[in-house]
Structure 1
């Protein structure tokens, strides 16, 4: 078992965990189970995105909402003696060397450990990030999974993109009277299959979508189909479901052409976990598993180094 932080080599803890979502929390929990101390750095609250997921259908333990699972995970981490929480703090730089990882926080402090788990996840793409949407400069819209029942009841919502959160939203609010105008590029038709038969959904495959300034309480847009047909759209509000972009901290992380951070490409002392790894495995269950595996990877590596020394 690795020793506790050793001031003689300048370590502040056994493991630094960057990100307090499901993967980061699982990493800290697994680290504690094998006697490793950890510091979890999270700019918001633990499991902040999980709290906004109204319905779960792929989590063990009988949890049916993100709030229930997030509450359980947060309570467990806060009660762990081997885990120190740095909430409300951002990582401004991550540096990896032969014998350590150094993390700089936004308040100027530096933390040093033998290994770091990076589990910062992803954030929503905005209209200006995709080529098929023309939008006013600087426009930022919320993702659909942040919408509550009151945001949708009796209203028409323009949903940009056909990604999986649409199905999650509909399952979470089965009795909500709403109309979703789902606008998506024709190449993404496979993404909307699970919501195609819901009577609250109108599917609009497009070549381009132009968002126009509307009234203070409405959204206006012009959709152009592949055959050149144009259609004016009006809605009470607009939400995003066009995918995510990685939110990795600056420093010694290697990114692929898609912006994600493949685990096998990283420095041996930097372990990537959760949604930051790839767009293919963005699920709560895979995030939990990869976070736990990342902590074990650090544990076994540290033990091997200690035995060799």
Structure 2
């Protein structure tokens, strides 16, 4: 690869054609697409490739006949590991991202740096906690697991209190169609439209709420006082409490433009920074859209390096 001058005039020899931050469906799709057009990439992932897919036990909206997240994740992982033009760096975090006129630099928690002509940021989102939800009052420092981490042993013959009506509830129910359990799902008005797919499941009791207060209980891990939409109060307890209140963006520090919710709109970024997957917005957080946006991001970088992009898309 040719040596290019930096903004300060010091020559910079890029380590690779493309840096990809995040090893989920979007990042993996970006790496495969980049390789298909001859671009070298380094994919940086702090955990395992497609780690969140392994927690999705039932799929019903992915092409290829895959019916579970682990099945899809195994296929993606095997394919990416056989991609010779992609170097995979697991167990590392990007602590800072900088973009100049002619290259980008990613600093890792090992203090090593990587440079490339473009970077694709596909770090996705992470689960919110009670402190992030204005409709929940909880003990200071309380953290709870998201529902997708629940195992069948947590559910069989038990009552689960689920805070929020986000769509992973439907996935959880489909993954355990015969499990004898009871879900107490309490949710704010903003989640009303999300509970349509679970409202007819006899294992679910829906509790519309204006506010929920959590506190320790002598007979359960947590108990909750729920102020209903009609102004009435009720106290509930359960064997386990899980979250389904949504997610928040997990972008690295550095030269990224974020909106008020922390997402990184694609059109607002530096020309050498390309956003892919769930980090773009909350509207399209699906496996298929993540994979499509990752592939598109790699092609964007490919055409940009050849000066083939329309002027208004650079």
Q: Does 1:227 align with 2:230?
A: yes
Is the 8 Å Cα contact of residues 220 and 238 (structure 2) preserved in structure 1? Answer: no
Give a deviation string over 1:51-92, Cα, whole Å, max 9, x none: 100001111111000000000111111111111011000000
Is the 8 Å Cα contact of residues 4 and 37 (structure 1) preserved in structure 2? Answer: no
Specify whether residues 15 and 5 from structure 1 end up closer, same or farther in structure 2 by C-alpha distance, changes over 3 A only.
farther
Specify whether residues 4 and 122 from structure 1 end up closer, same or farther in structure 2 by C-alpha distance, changes over 3 A only.
farther
Give the number of aligned pairs: 304
Give 2:184's match in structure 1, choosing from 164, 181, 184.
181
Aligned to 1:120: 123
Aligned to 2:300: 297
Structure 1 unpaired stretches of 5+ = none
Q: Alpha carbon RMSD of aligned pairs, Å?
A: 1.7
TM-score by length of 1: 0.95
Q: In the aligned structure 2, how far is the partner of 1:179 from the partner of 1:247?
A: 32
Q: In the aligned structure 1, how far is the partner of 2:20 from the partner of 2:263?
A: 18
Is the 8 Å Cα contact of residues 255 and 261 (structure 1) preserved in structure 2? Answer: yes
- Output aligned runs, 1:270-285, within 5 Å: 270-285=273-288
Aligned to 1:22: 25
Shift, 1:227, TM fit: 2.9
Q: In the aligned structure 2, how far is the partner of 1:33 from the partner of 1:109?
A: 28
Q: In the aligned structure 2, how far is the partner of 1:131 from the partner of 1:165?
A: 20
- Output aligned runs, 1:184-199, within 5 Å: 184-199=187-202
Give 1:109's match in structure 2, choosing from 96, 104, 112.
112
Aligned to 2:94: 91
Q: Secondary structure at the match of 1:281?
A: coil
Q: Does 1:32 align with 2:31?
A: no
Q: Secondary structure at the match of 1:304?
A: coil
TM-score by length of 2: 0.94
Q: Which moved more, 1:140-149 or 1:52-61?
A: 140-149
Q: In the aligned structure 1, how far is the partner of 2:3 from the partner of 2:185?
A: 52
Aligned to 1:137: 140
Give 1:218's match in structure 2, choosing from 218, 221, 224.
221
Structure 2 unpaired stretches of 5+ = 6-10, 309-314
Shift, 1:256, TM fit: 0.7
Shift, 1:10, TM fit: 1.5
Q: In the aligned structure 1, how far is the partner of 2:88 from the partner of 2:130?
A: 34
Give 1:82's match in structure 2, choosing from 80, 85, 99.
85
Is the 8 Å Cα contact of residues 122 and 277 (structure 2) preserved in structure 1? Answer: yes
Aligned to 2:265: 262
Q: Which moved more, 1:95-104 or 1:209-218?
A: 209-218
Shift, 1:4, TM fit: 8.4
